[in-house]
Amino acid sequence: MQRRKFITLTAATAAVAAVAPSTLSATDFRKEAPKAWEAATSQEAIEAMFGTGAMEEGKIEIKAPKLAENGGAVPIGIKSDIDLAAVAIFQDANPRSAVVVMEMPEGSKIDLMTKIKMRKTSDVTIVAKGRDGKLYKEVQKVEVSIGGCGG
């Protein structure tokens, strides 16, 4: 399997896989872009992780509740027909924006779901990187009736 480098990441450290010997991208997102994980706002976090290049909208479908009753576990579904290499979730409901970066091998059907914490109502932003390096973005506002981030 070919190892990719995320050219938009600005950290000076070499890309080192911290976990398994065979990883998808040789990029450990937590080590490679530490600023992204500390950033408070989605704009800063997205920029730190993916750069400021153009992001196409309309290619990702977000399935999230309009009103989440339990802010401790808000289900976020992500679907797309594009061959995506990485899919990241950001929000502005918590002290820091970056939630998770998921990576898939070539040929994977993109039909993902996870659960995230949201202390309050905010936008949830998905940024994804295609296998060809193109960036995609999609935003959905999620209202939260009871905050769930230890608040």
Partner 1 sequence: MKLKAKLKGDSAEIKVMALHQQMGREEAETKKGTKNYITHLTAKVGDRVVFQASMGPFISKDPYFKFDVAGVKKGDTVDVDWVDLSGATKKESIAIK
Binding mask 25-54 for partner 1 (x = CB under 8 A): ---xxx------x-----------------
Window contacting partner 1 (CB under 8 A); options: 57-65, 111-119, 125-133, 138-146: 111-119
Residue 74 within binding range of partner 1, rule CB under 8 A: yes
What are the DSSP calls for 111-144, one per residue?
Answer: EEEEEE--SS-EEEEEEEEETTS-EEEEEEEEEE
Torsion sign, CA atoms 52, 53, 54, 59: negative
Encoded amino acid at 86, one letter:
A
Rg (CA), the chain: 15
Window contacting partner 1 (CB under 8 A); options: 4-12, 50-58, 131-139, 142-150: 142-150
Backbone angles phi, psi at 123, to 5 degrees: -75, 145
> Site for partner 1 (CB under 8 A): which residue of 10, 23, 43, 121?
23
Smallest distance from the beta carbon of 140 to partner 1, in angstroms? 16
Binding mask 113-132 for partner 1 (x = CB under 8 A): xxxxx---------------
Query: What number of other Cβ atoms are within 10 A of residue 38's Cβ?
Result: 14
Single out the residue of 46, 110, 101 nearest to residue 78, CA to CA. 110
Taking a C-beta distance cutoff of 8 angstroms, is the pair 40, 96 a contact? Answer: yes
Residue 20 within binding range of partner 1, rule CB under 8 A: yes
> Site for partner 1 (CB under 8 A): which residue of 16, 18, 40, 146?
18
**Binding interface with partner 1 (CB under 8 A):** 1, 18-20, 22-24, 28-30, 37, 72-74, 91, 94-96, 98-105, 107-117, 148-151
